[in-house]
Structure 1
Amino acid sequence: MGGQRRHIGVAERRTRLALRHRLAGTARAAAPEEVAGSLVALHGTDPATVYLAVGARLADSGKTVGEVERALYEDRTLVRMHGMRHTVFVFPTGLAAVVHSSTGLAIAAKARAGLIKDMTTGSDGRLTEEWLTEVETSALAALARRGQATVNELTRDEPRLREQFTYGAGKNYESPHTVSSRLMRVLGVEGRVVRGRPLGAWTSSQFRWAVAPPHPELAPAEAQSELLGRWLAACGPATEADLKWWTGWKVTDVRRALSAAGAVAVSLDDGVTGYVADGDTGPVAGPAEPWAALLPGLDPTAMGWQERDWYLAPSLRDPLFDRSGNVGPTVWWNGRVVGGWAQRASGEIVWRLLDSDGVGRDARAAIEVEAARLSAWVGTTRVTPRFRTPLERELTSA
């Protein structure tokens, strides 16, 4: 970009977040597909996060569970699969090929090589690469016949999936690994299987598996450009560090994709360089009214950037994050995190302010409305985050 770079300050970044992440009241979505498309990806490591993230952004949150299940398991317009940073996400099904080719291929190759090495050395050569090929071919055929299946069901069709090998023999982390658990993960990152319906309610972490829907094979560089362009449209401006962290790519891949996508450099506060999608340098009008939101642990907005000071004060990190860097449930007011929330065993939704600057009576009333809206659609279901944080634990124990 020639000449002086456009400057995008914190206020405009928060406005973009409010609108593009469907958090302002006027920007809420009509369906889960709209939410996922706007955010590019919904974190799926904790199954409840998908529903809670969608519910916070739907105009009619009472339809959250039914609509998400329809999209995931009936219409198949959303798919749960491995993506960036070897993490499980929920994507629009049309984006599966882009995610697989841009991030999954390299991860898959490493995962398969690791399985073969661990399996062959950990079984004294009894289990070979050729043996694994036979087993996975048989398992995939059985899965196709069943439509969806648990690992236990597949082992009845292909008993060799129960075979074990020793991982880390002679090391302090030595442990038995079962072929089935490792193989299904490899097939997942290879884009050959996806998660199906859970065994229990929508909060369950136990899933069936299904054969992945067919998708075209894209050139990795083309797919990286497409994914990065979509993400910048949702989350730009973002720094190079943000992009490297979110994608899990090498910095050379990030820079190549930025160029290929026609990303435009802009200036952020403190002289930092950020990037926006091609054609996205114009000013953005703000939401008509202030807004509040209760977002779940691992929400894609709270976890969207590596550099978070513009929406989350550094002093809030200790109570709101676990030791691995996973964010817990957060309370938002007008584009910044101001506290956290939790659900007690009684079902009550409770919240606490951690940053009260600019959070007056109207803000507190708006947060209470969101807490009541969340409580109404969650109903009798009890939700405990998979990655618990200090504030969430404190609120639930009070």
Structure 2
Amino acid sequence: MTTTALPRVTPAQRRSRLVRRHLLAPALRKETVEAVAEALVGLHATDPATVYLTAAARMHTPTAAAIDHSLYHAPNGTPGLERIRCMRRTMFVVPAHLAPAVRSATVRDAHRQRAATTAQLGQALGWDERRCAEVETAVLAALTTHGAATAAQLAAEIPALREQMVTFPGKPYQSRQRVSSPILGLLAAEGRIRRSRPAGSWTSAQFRWAPARPLRAVPPAEAKTQLARRYLTAFGPATVADLKWWTGWSLTDTRRALAATGAQAVELDEGTGYLLPEDIEDIEDLGGRDGLHGAEGAGPAVALLPSLDPTPMGWRHRDWYLDPDHTKALFDRNGNIGPTIWWNGRIVGTWAQHPDGHLNHHLLTDPGGQARTAIEAEIDRTRAFLADTRVTPCYRTPLERSLTT
């Protein structure tokens, strides 16, 4: 019996595709935040500064004011972007037209979060479902009245939100937090409230909360298929484990959604990967190129990406763009990545902003003279974008910390 070998996609071909699809070369940059979000499916938004730095790294002439306008000043009241809690219960900024599918595809996470939050509040404070519902109703009423408010402003009006609870009792990382945090997080996960403009600069984490905009309903199976297809368009070829990790779905849901896309199996170093049929020819055209070095019209592929950027956070298996020996220096203990320097589709270093505004960087490998020159130019571009703004990642990594001192 004869078996047909799967098409082979090499790490070099994957890096070439990564550079093109993730806009990691100066010639590939876009004019707007909306175009960047469209290319990447969504922008990680847990750290408020990440959205701005992710977009700026991929825009021709970025300014904080232009990015701010895209995020908070939609023309005619019709948003081009939506900030929602979705994949892996993480905050993302996604294209508005994709938001209904993203919400429907991840609603199961919200159900699990409600069960966990209710149990946590019951154990810590003796709250039952009725008490939780009363507080949630009060929050929604206050936001309807005021339009938008910070957690502190809501807590000043709703005494129950000021109650404190112990999280992770008995653990080394035990802490106390106000009830406002899990309640607002749950309402956001369920799409009943949304993050609005922060109370401060674009680096501020003191977000205002506002009533959520209604999103049309999409059947969950259809939504999962649509999201899986968008993921493969931007991140493929990818393994089942990659898609499962990125979405937070169960293995069964992941396999069903992947099958529904009609994706074609390909051979990767990590095992079997999947690529949309229309992208098979695209991979073949890349040949053995590494990144876009020497590709017509593209030039060197250099980028400075912020912590939690969607590119390095897009796959479970990362050896094809990240040396495993560098993982501990770049990630914290919870799997959050710090700022990274990219050259031709590969992570070659990290960077950080010193309190005086200077950008320090450290190369984990020597990418060569041309790369070093391009990296210096990109550091100057990033410094110009930041101007007088100081940015400290929400999640600190060992090497990033060392570069700030």
Does 191-200 or 384-393 show the bigger shift? Answer: 384-393
Q: Which residue of 1 aligns with 2:131?
A: 131
Name which of structure 1's ranges 81-90 and 375-384 shifts more when overlaid on structure 2.
Answer: 81-90
Aligned partner of 1:102 in structure 2 is 105
Is the counterpart of residue 377 in structure 1 residue 368 in structure 2? no
Q: Distance in 2 between matches of 1:173 and 1:100?
A: 31
Q: How far apart are the structure 1 equivalents of 2:91 and 2:140?
A: 20
Match of 1:85 among 81, 84, 88: 88
Distance 1:226 1:201 in 2: 35
Q: Which residue of 1 aligns with 2:360?
A: 350
Query: Are 2:208 and 1:214 aligned?
Result: no
Q: CA 1:332 to 1:178, structure 2 compared with 1: closer, same or farther past 3 Å? A: closer
Whole-angstrom CA distance in 1 between matches of 2:391 and 2:268: 37
Query: Which residue identity lines up with residue 202 of structure 1 in the other structure?
Result: W
Identity of aligned residues (%): 48
1:55-74 equivalences under 5 Å are 55-61=56-62, 63=63, 65-74=64-73
For residue 262 of structure 2, give the secondary structure of its aligned residue in structure 1: coil
Paired residue secondary structure (2:390): coil
Deviation of 1:25 after TM superposition, in Å, equals: 1.7
**Counterpart of 2:279 in 1: which secondary structure?**
coil
SS at match of 1:141: helix
Distance in 1 (alpha carbons) for counterparts of 2:156 and 2:81 = 29
**Paired letter, 2:401:** R
Alpha carbons 2:89, 2:110 under 8 Å: kept: no
Q: Map of 1:233-244 to 2, 5 A cutoff?
A: 233-244=233-244
- Contact 1:342/1:392 (CA < 8 Å) preserved in 2? yes
**1:11 to 2:12 alignment:** yes
Partner of 1:307: helix, strand, or coil?
A: coil
Distance 1:329 1:174 in 2: 28
- 1:93-242 to 2 correspondences below 5 Å: 93-103=96-106, 105-124=107-126, 127-163=127-163, 178-242=178-242
How far the C-alpha of 1:121 sits from its partner, in A, is 4.3
Q: Which residue of 2 aligns with 1:296?
A: 306
| CA apart distance, 1:281 | 0.7
TM-score (norm 2): 0.90
Gaps of at least 5 residues in structure 2 are: 287-291
Shift of residue 182, structure 1, vs aligned partner: 1.8
Shift of 1:363: 1.2
How many residues align structurally?
388
**Match status 1:246 vs 2:256:** no
CA distance in 2, matches of 1:168, 1:361: 49
| Amino acid aligned to 1:278 | P
- The superposition leaves residues 7-43 of structure 1 with CA deviations (integer Å, 9 ceiling, x where unpaired) of 2111211111111101112211110011111001211
Q: Aligned partners of 1:130 and 1:343: how far apart in 2?
A: 47
What is the match of residue 41 of structure 1? 42
Once residues 326 and 169 of structure 1 are traced to their aligned partners in structure 2, the CA distance between those partners, rounded to angstroms, is: 23
Query: CA 1:165–1:267 in 2, change beyond 3 Å: closer, same or farther?
Result: closer
Q: CA RMSD in A?
A: 2.2
Give 3-state SS (helix, strand or coil) of 1:37's partner: helix
Does residue 390 in structure 1 map to residue 398 in structure 2? yes
Q: Secondary structure at the match of 2:112?
A: helix
Alpha-carbon distance between aligned partners in 2 of 1:317 and 1:204, rounded to the nearest angstrom: 28
More displaced stretch, 229-238 vs 109-118:
109-118
Q: Who is 2:376 aligned against?
A: 368
In structure 1, distance between residues paired with 2:173 and 2:332: 23
The alignment status of 1:306 with 2:316, answered yes or no, reads yes
Corresponding residue SS for 2:222: helix
User: Closer, same or farther in 2 for the Cα pair 1:100/1:315, shift >3 Å?
Assistant: same
Distance 2:203 2:32 in 1: 20
Structure 1 unmatched ranges of 5 or more: none
Residues 119 and 166 of structure 1 are in contact (CA less than 8 Å); yes or no, is this contact kept in structure 2?
A: no
* Equivalent position SS for 1:281: helix
Contact 1:139 1:157 in 2 (8 A): no
Residues 1:154 and 1:318: Cα distance change in structure 2 (over 3 Å): closer
TM-score, structure 1 as length reference: 0.91
For residue 361 of structure 1, report the CA deviation from its aligned partner. Answer: 1.7
In structure 2, C-alpha distance between the alignment counterparts of 1:45 and 1:129, rounded to whole Å: 28
Tell me by how many angstroms 1:206 deviates. Answer: 1.2
Shift of 1:72: 1.6
